[in-house]
Copies of this chain bind each other. A is one copy, B any other.
Amino acid sequence: MASRTPPVATRSEDQRSGAERAPRRRLSVDERREQLIAVALELFSKHPPEDVSIDDIAAAAGASRPLVYHYFPGKQALYEESLRRAGQELAGRFEEPAEGPLSERLLRVMGRYLDFVEGHGPGFEALLRGGSVAASPGTNAVIDEVRRAAQEQILSHLAIADPSPGLRRTVRAWIANAEISSLDWLGERSVPREELQLQLVQEFVAAVTVTAAREPSLAVELAGFLAEEASGGPTGRLVRELAGLLGVPGLAEALGRLAAGES
């Protein structure tokens, strides 16, 4: 649609702001559209959508209000388009070469994910906390698409031809964990960022292990993954932390009794 809109120059002079009246260089239609989206994304990242007006976007873009309306029917359309871009960018951050220990790949992915969360904090919160007046089927479709992309990326690293419903659920639930945990963390910062990053990866390893305990074919894959893990990596540290529990008075005995099946 944008490429078929008449050039801005055809609009009457009095509709333009000062910045528009004296542009350093006239932007093409596509450039202007991209600029408006970029400016909107920046504003919607830093503020909840209800606090951003078309006037704010116009001012930040050095454009007039009518010019913004010339490209987008309204704030909601601009919000949804900037969200789509943010979603594409976030989905791209889940891409990771299939090399090295699995938990270290995921640690790198989570680093990029938390970069994104920090860089888009107020917008990320407004979007995922729910109750936003700007939530719509369009914004929810973007969220669902990012979740699906994350799930597929993670499943592809597990390299299992036909993931079971149980494993899909495990991955999906872990993605929800990452969302909820990063929302909490944005609000409270109760742990250092690196700690959250590590914990989420370890929680993934633990969740896959519990799933593998029910699924013999996944258990075989798990043995292969564990053989690749480094002792200094997230999984190695988790294994030693869990082994440390055996030193807690009474804990090893309780586990031994349960493992033996004695009531």
Contacts and interface: CB of A to CB of B under 8 A. Distances in A.
Interface of A: 129-131, 133, 135-137, 139-141, 143-144, 165-166, 168-169, 172-173, 176-177, 179-181, 184, 188, 190-191, 199, 202-203, 206-207, 209-210, 212-214, 216, 219-220, 222-224, 226-227, 229-232, 235-236, 238-245, 248-251, 253-255, 257-263
Nearest to A237: B258
B241 A213 contact: yes
A-side interface mostly: helix
A165 B188 contact: yes
B130 A213 contact: no
A181 B173 contact: yes
Given A130-B135, A202-B210, A236-B258, 4 more contacts: A133-B137, A176-B177, A209-B245, A235-B258
Which 5 A/B pairs are nearest by Cβ-Cβ distance?
A131-B140, A165-B190, A226-B254, A213-B241, A223-B251
